Amino acid sequence: MAATPPLKPIHPTEPATGIVPALTVRDLSISFGKNKVLKNVSIDIAAKSVTAIIGPSGCGKSTFLRALNRLHELTPEARMEGDIRLFGDDIYARNVEPVLVRRRVGMVFQKSNPFPTMSIAENVTVGLRLNGVHDKKTLAERTEQSLTMAALWDEVKDRLNAPAISLSGGQQQRLCIARALAVKPNVLLMDEPASALDPLATAKIEELIVDLKKEYTIVIVTHNMQQAARSSDFAAFFYLGELVEFGTTTKIFTNPVQKRTEDYVTGRFG
């Protein structure tokens, strides 16, 4: 990818020392037609940590997430301005294919979406197989690794060839996480990954998130304040397309600078 001069770092209001930014976002604006949904967002996302994106519905947090792997481009009339670097590489550079960006920035969606025509194992390896990896040994290894990381291996190891849709909702979501991990991305985006799950399954996903940050950079959109407080290191509060406040989760939830942030995290609006 094109080499570009380094950007001036923007740290959270309470900078943690020695943190490498995985993603640096500068002046990001996105509009769909005439509707401007993100306005001049600048943020540094620290590597190997969990960053929670919070804010009321329609504040642009999902769009922000989808801009990080260029998935928002699927929407017709989407326009983007600004600059996003992934470990220094400009992911919007002219010669960069969205497909290549998405191999480095994986995503887990709100609604679990394992491919219904494929088995559990096939779902895990689909990203590899359709990108040209056919070595059986590699695929088998990666299946076990990914399912283990997604805390699903013990539950499914005896029925890897069963249809993916035979799993429960929570298991399906962990399967989707395994599927995203199998292509070894640098960053994992999660768009309300637990909002359709029961409390037990949600707890499992949260544990998993904390576990995964040892190796991955995680950005998670959530409506659940407790979830954000429990599982994230940093939190960014979005409101009406603007980044209102960004800081360590402790700071955002206990001593926010902005009144609007305080009102939101304490449940007074939103």
For residue 90, the surrounding DSSP H or E stretch is strand 89-90
For residue 193, the surrounding DSSP H or E stretch is none
Closest CA to 38 of 20, 53, 22: 53
Q: Are 211 and 222 in contact (CB under 8 A)?
A: no
Q: Which is nearer to other proteins, 111 or 259 (CB)?
A: 111
Q: How far is the CB of 185 from other proteins (least distance, A)?
A: 8
* Count of residues that interact with other proteins, criterion CB under 8 A: 28
Dihedral (Cα; 43, 44, 49, 51), 10-degree rounding: 0
Sole window of 5-13, 79-87, 104-112, 196-204 interacting with other proteins (rule: CB under 8 A):
104-112
Distance CA 144, CA 154 (A): 10
Q: Are 99 and 42 in contact (CB under 8 A)?
A: no
Say whether residue 87 binds other proteins (CB under 8 A): no
116 is written with which tokens? 């219904």
Q: How far is the CB of 173 from other proteins (least distance, A)?
A: 12
Say whether residue 232 binds other proteins (CB under 8 A): no
Closest CA to 186 of 86, 269, 89: 86
Residues 176-195 that bind other proteins (CB under 8 A): 176, 179-180, 183, 189
Distance CA 189, CA 74 (A): 17
Say whether residue 109 binds other proteins (CB under 8 A): yes
Coil, strand or helix at 249:
helix
The site string for other proteins over 25-64 (x = CB under 8 A, - otherwise) reads ----------------------------------------
Residues 117-136 that bind other proteins (CB under 8 A): 117, 126-127, 130-131
Distance CA 39, CA 28 (A): 7
Q: How far is the CB of 248 from other proteins (least distance, A)?
A: 28
**Count of beta carbons in the 10 Å neighbourhood of residue 198:** 11
Say whether residue 107 binds other proteins (CB under 8 A): yes
Exactly one of 100, 160, 196, 210 binds other proteins (CB under 8 A); that residue is: 100
Say whether residue 102 binds other proteins (CB under 8 A): yes
Exactly one of 113, 145, 224, 258 binds other proteins (CB under 8 A); that residue is: 113
Q: Which is nearer to other proteins, 90 or 263 (CB)?
A: 90
Which residue's entry shows tokens 């290191």? 233
Under the rule (CB under 8 A), what is the footprint of other proteins? 69, 71, 74, 76, 98-104, 106-107, 109, 111, 113, 115-117, 126-127, 130-131, 176, 179-180, 183, 189
